[in-house]
């Protein structure tokens, strides 16, 4: 039974985030959802605490012995020629030292045609970015609270420009085994550029995420509620396609209400038969729906779904995410138990 104290803990975790001044960020690929399970459940979950070695990339506090000797690789095609993916592995040294986690996150932007200021073709160029991470989690003695951190080294190459950066993720998760409730909080991409592209230091895409999930008693389903971008309250913008014009030519911009802006922080997800050999997943991202849906057309933006199948020590994951009428993404993943 869901008790008031869990709701209170969750709300306190959400309000503990701080404001972030808006601006442009570098290394935006760090916030791509590259795990099929994450993508199918709407993205950015911080409360999965099980075998899934990919989860530690989003919340290092979820690193646990059940991930030990799990090796995963994920691949997806974004838009155009852009491809991206991750690989992750965890190893438990012993019950005292507990579990270490290693991960890699990359994106390849494909080939582009280059032109000079006179419009003369100069040849083709490409771009790619990669981040290597090393993580560790620790169970606070005599509590159900786990804390963890990832250290990341980032490399970015865009045409002839290069940049190197460093960042850390910190996270925490509270596990209530009696009620099958998990409450998580993660602060991601705290860091800086070590070398810049052209002499200008740019901030990293810091993000604060909180979440809660519960496996329902007597029903084989786990629901998830995630609050994203808590470092900045106002994340809405007026869509010019939704502006109205009266008979006198006066244009009225779309007004985003308090409730509408609040919803854009929310991601919902559900997993049927969690932990079984076969499970089905679905999610809904309110922000993606609000920003990418087309006026007067049903595009189903924000909806995602997927499934997982396990054959002995091999698990296959797939997800489909709807962005617009013209663009959707699929992610494929394989996880191998090396034990």
For the stretch 219-261, pLDDT in tens is 899 999 999 999 999 888 776 666 666 666 667 777 888 898 9
- Give the global pTM: 0.86
Domains of the chain as residue ranges with CATH: 4-337 (2.40.160.40)
| The pLDDT value given to residue 14 | 39
- Residues (pLDDT < 70) of the chain are 1-23, 95-97, 239-250, 295-296
Strands 121-139 and 145-158: antiparallel
What distance lies between CA 209 and its chain's CA centroid? 9
| The pLDDT value given to residue 9 | 38
- Calculate the alpha carbon distances from 29 to 78, 93, 96, 129, 173 in Å: 11, 31, 35, 8, 25
| The pLDDT value given to residue 256 | 80
Q: What percent of the chain has pLDDT over 70?
A: 86
Instruction: Copy the structure tokens of residue 30.
Output: 């760090």
| The pLDDT value given to residue 140 | 92
| The pLDDT value given to residue 258 | 87
- Calculate the alpha carbon distances from 42 to 24, 107, 167, 197, 265 in Å: 24, 20, 25, 33, 12
Whole-number Å distance between alpha carbons of 64 and 141: 15
Q: From the DSSP assignment, how many helices (H) and strands (E) are in the chain?
A: 4, 16
Nearest to 87 by CA among 339, 338, 334, 337: 334
The number of residues in the chain equals: 339
- Calculate the alpha carbon distances from 279 to 76, 78, 96, 102, 273 in Å: 20, 25, 33, 26, 5
């Amino acid at each position: 039974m869901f008790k008031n104290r869990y709701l209170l803990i969750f709300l306190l975790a959400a309000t503990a985030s701080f404001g972030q001044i808006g601006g442009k960020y570098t290394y935006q690929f760090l916030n791509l959802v590259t795990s099929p399970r994450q993508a199918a459940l709407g993205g950015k979950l911080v409360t999965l605490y099980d075998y899934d070695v990919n989860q530690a990339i989003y919340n290092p506090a979820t690193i646990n012995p059940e991930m030990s000797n799990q090796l995963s690789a994920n691949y997806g095609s974004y838009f155009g020629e852009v491809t991206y993916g991750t690989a992750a592995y965890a190893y438990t040294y012993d019950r005292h030292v507990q579990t270490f986690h290693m991960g890699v996150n990359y994106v390849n932007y494909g080939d582009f045609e280059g032109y000079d200021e006179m419009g003369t073709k100069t040849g083709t160029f490409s771009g790619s970015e990669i981040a290597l991470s090393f993580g560790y989690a620790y169970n606070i003695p005599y509590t159900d609270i786990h804390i963890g951190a990832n250290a990341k080294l980032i490399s970015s190459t865009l045409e002839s420009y290069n940049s190197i950066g460093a960042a850390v993720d910190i996270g925490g998760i509270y596990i209530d085994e009696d009620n099958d409730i998990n409450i998580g909080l993660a602060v991601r991409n705290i860091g800086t550029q070590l070398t810049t592209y052209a002499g200008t230091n740019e901030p990293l895409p810091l993000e604060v995420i909180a979440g809660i999930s519960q496996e329902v008693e007597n029903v084989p389903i786990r629901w998830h509620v995630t609050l994203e971008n808590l470092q900045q309250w106002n994340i809405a913008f007026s869509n010019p396609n939704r502006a109205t014009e009266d008979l006198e030519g006066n244009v009225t911009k779309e007004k985003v209400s308090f409730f509408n802006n609040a919803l854009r922080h929310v991601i919902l997800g559900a997993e049927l038969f969690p932990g079984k050999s076969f499970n089905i997943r679905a999610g809904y991202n309110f922000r993606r729906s609000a920003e990418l849906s087309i006026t007067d057309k049903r595009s189903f933006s924000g909806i995602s779904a997927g499934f997982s199948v396990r054959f002995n020590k091999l698990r296959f994951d797939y997800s489909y995410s709807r962005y617009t009428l013209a663009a959707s993404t699929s992610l494929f993943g394989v996880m191998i138990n090396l034990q």
